[in-house]
Structure 1
Amino acid sequence: MQSKSLISVVFTLLFCLHSIAQENDKESKTDAIKSTDSLSIETQTSPAKSAKLESNYIDPLAPSRAAFYSAVLPGLGQAYNKKYWKIPIVYAALGTGIYFYIDNNNAYNRYRDAYKRRLAGYTDDEFYDKLSTDGLQNAQKQLRRNKEMSLLITIGLYALQIVDANVDAHLMQFNIDDNLSLAPHYNYNEMENCSNLGLTFNFKF
């Protein structure tokens, strides 16, 4: 009788241990599945996170680098910023300034040579029948001012394309996302039978 009761107790203990082992196996499998799912979710979201980090990457040396390139060779900073359509504008502006400088300089040299020949007593210069000696002197002063103005404008255009490359490089790295936005909104107010217009400014930390 005691042996039967002992056997029944042993079987009961074995059954309990077996059920506990099954429960532990189920829990371990569930934990493994959860860990695998979380790993796959992290793997799937990691490219988006990396893309976001790449999109928010700021190179602090980019503006100075673009300005340096434009200083070395006009238009090179615009090419560095991938604003290729600005390169013809840069060279057209600089070319126009250089053209007027050269043209005024050549005209100035012509009037100066004629003025020197007048002072030397010659009457065979190309302006002899058109301008007097005082007229040649006044023409030289005017052309010298035009030449200096053309040079200053050309230098200003050269500096302007450097500033343009620097500003473009700054604006290309300007961060625009959902955390900072300004958007117009429109809605119809049924209670007052009117339309509402406005601006919504969002700033999230």
Structure 2
Amino acid sequence: MKHIFSILIAVLFFSSPKAFAQDEELNTVVIVKDSTLLKPYTIDPLAPARAAFYSALVPGMGQIYNKKYWKLPLVYGGLAVSIYSYSFNNNKYHEYRDAYKDLLAGKPLTGKLEGVNADVLIRAQKFHQRNRDLSMLITVGIYILNIVDANVDAHLLQFNVNENLSLRPELQQNSIDYKHNLGLNLCLQF
């Protein structure tokens, strides 16, 4: 044990500092100048991956990382409703399944299921099982959508939007009859 500890300390102290450092090429933040306005803006190539990782770790963290706080109630609301639906349908499925097992064993049904026949119990089981499985798929879908949204939103935050590309409504006067015409002006400057 003493030898393993001493070997570990020797490796830590005598190894090169680059052995434990992060790769600097992957963590670079690129500063780009806008082609016409010459304003510098930064592009972080790892921001989308970081946002997706945060959302995969804790749903909604990618939206917080992107500063899109208004999306948090959508993420947590969707997850809460689908998880509640799963829990409700799972409980009902087990209730009807246990009642069906009791009916097959010859035990009398009590409570609200008293007088219910086997066919109704089977249909109720299938209904709640299908809804339970659908709720689980919806929960997984919302979770994946949360990750994809954080990734795409982080990509779009770095998108250059300036006055060189614009679409504006325009009112022009016709030179023949002097009436005003409404149109759209698409401006693309290089």
| 1:75 corresponds to which of 56, 60, 65 | 60
CA spacing shift, 1:62–1:130, aligned 2, 3 Å = farther
Unaligned runs of 5+ in 2: 1-35
- 2-structure distance, mates of 1:116, 1:137: 10
Residue aligning to 2:13: none
Segments ≥4 residues shifted beyond 6 Å: none
The answer to whether the 8 A contact 1:67-1:77 is kept is yes
Deviation at 1:191, TM superposition (A): 4.8
* 1:111 aligned onto 2:111: no
* 1:93 aligned onto 2:78: yes
The DSSP-based 3-state class of the residue aligned with 2:177 is coil
TM-score if structure 2 supplies the norm length?
Answer: 0.73
- 1-structure distance, mates of 2:128, 2:181: 63
- 2-structure distance, mates of 1:159, 1:137: 33
1:16-50 deviation line (CA, Å, top 9, x unaligned): xxxxxxxxxxxxxxxxxxxxxxxxxxxxxxxxx9x
Counting only pairs closer than 5 Å after superposition, residues 173-184 of structure 1 correspond to structure 2 as: 173-184=158-169
TM-score if structure 1 supplies the norm length?
Answer: 0.68
- 2-structure distance, mates of 1:67, 1:176: 23
CA spacing shift, 1:193–1:204, aligned 2, 3 Å = closer
- 2-structure distance, mates of 1:92, 1:112: 30
- 2-structure distance, mates of 1:104, 1:82: 35
- 2-structure distance, mates of 1:67, 1:145: 31
The answer to whether the 8 A contact 2:60-2:75 is kept is yes
- Residue 204 of structure 1 aligns with an amino acid whose one-letter code is Q
- 2-structure distance, mates of 1:130, 1:70: 49
The answer to whether the 8 A contact 1:98-1:150 is kept is yes
1:130-161 deviation line (CA, Å, top 9, x unaligned): 41122212211111111101111111111112
The alignment-based identity, stated in percent, is 54
Higher helix share: 1
Deviation at 1:165, TM superposition (A): 1.4
Deviation at 1:77, TM superposition (A): 0.7
The answer to whether the 8 A contact 1:184-1:199 is kept is yes
Unaligned runs of 5+ in 1: 1-48
The DSSP-based 3-state class of the residue aligned with 2:114 is coil
The answer to whether the 8 A contact 2:55-2:63 is kept is yes
